[in-house]
Structure 1
Amino acid sequence: MKAKSNLKKLILALLLMVAASTISYAQCDKTDTITSSTTYHLDDKGVVERTKDEETVITFNKTNITIAPGGEDHVTSGPVKSYTCNWTTPFKVGKTVITAVLTDGGEDINATITIEGTDGKVTVTFEADKLQGKKIQVVANKFE
């Protein structure tokens, strides 16, 4: 009798894990958009050097990423080279890491974009070789 009860608990636990991973992958397989109202420029130690009030819209999926800081006048975009996605709670807790070659004003930029959710707060951190250890970060006002 006890073995049968343990088997039921095991099956229920497996079904819950499958459901949770399906939700996570559903988020990872679609195009997402993050909107932010402030951009933070960080030094190589992660200390804020300056902030800029501007709307930034970041749209991404497994194959392409577009970053539009300050509106549609300045758009940086390019193909995704690698994409890892793991969200335990969609849009709240998890992480996506994207490496991409972005084109900005005719110049190609190798970049790593990390989208991380902790306790419902989602941040996007942009790193590129040309920034020499400095980073650009935004906090999502909206993540969909």
Structure 2
Amino acid sequence: MKTTSILKTTIAALFLMVAGGTISFAQCDKTITLTSSKTNHLDVNGNVERTKDENAVITITSTDITIVPGDEEHKMTGKITSKTCDWKVPFKEGKTVIKSIVSGDGSDDKDITVTIEGKAGKVTLTFEAVGMNKKIQVVADKFE
């Protein structure tokens, strides 16, 4: 009887782990659009150098990323080359790291890493480009 109880508990635990993993994966594969109204420019150590009030819209699909800053002239798009995703609570607690090569109108291609991190319900996106000694961070006001 004791063995049956342990087996049932183990099966229930495995079911919950698989269900949780499926929900997390499904969340990571959806198209999302995040909007922000403030941009922080950080040094390499993550210290804020300056803050600018500007709207930005970031759209992420399973294969592409589009970044539209306040002035739509500097729109950047690119294919996602890698993506890791681990959200305990979708877009409240967890992290996604996206690597992409983006290009914009008249600009060179940039190899970037975008880290989307949720802590205590606050979602931040940090953009880093290879060869640049700064980072750009936005706080998501809204995501869909």
- The TM-score normalised by the length of structure 1 is 0.92
Quote the offset at 1:34 in angstroms: 1.0
Instruction: Report the Cα distance in structure 1 between the residues aligned to 2:55 and 2:39, rounded to whole angstroms.
Output: 8
- The TM-score normalised by the length of structure 2 is 0.92
The yes-or-no answer on 1:47 pairing with 2:47 is yes
Structure 2: segments with no counterpart, 5+ residues: none
Identical columns (%): 60
The DSSP-based 3-state class of the residue aligned with 2:46 is coil
Q: Which amino acid aligns with 1:125?
A: T
Aligned residue for 1:89?
Answer: 89
Quote the offset at 1:104 in angstroms: 2.4
Q: Deviations over 1:19-64 (max 9, x none)?
A: 1111101111121111111100001111101011111110012311
Instruction: Report the Cα distance in structure 1 between the residues aligned to 2:44 and 2:97, rounded to whole angstroms.
Output: 19
Q: Which amino acid aligns with 1:93?
A: E
Quote the offset at 1:130 in angstroms: 4.0
Structure 1: segments with no counterpart, 5+ residues: none
Does structure 2 conserve the Cα–Cα contact (< 8 Å) formed by 1:57 and 1:71?
Answer: no
Q: Deviations over 1:46-84 (max 9, x none)?
A: 110101111111001231100011054431111111111
Instruction: Report the Cα distance in structure 1 between the residues aligned to 2:31 and 2:20, rounded to whole angstroms.
Output: 19
Does structure 2 conserve the Cα–Cα contact (< 8 Å) formed by 1:109 and 1:130?
Answer: no
The yes-or-no answer on 1:110 pairing with 2:111 is yes
Superposed, 1:125-144 pairs within 5 Å as: 125-132=126-133, 134-144=134-144
Runs of 4 or more above 4 Å deviation: none
Instruction: Report the Cα distance in structure 2 between the residues aligned to 1:29 and 1:129, rounded to whole angstroms.
Output: 25
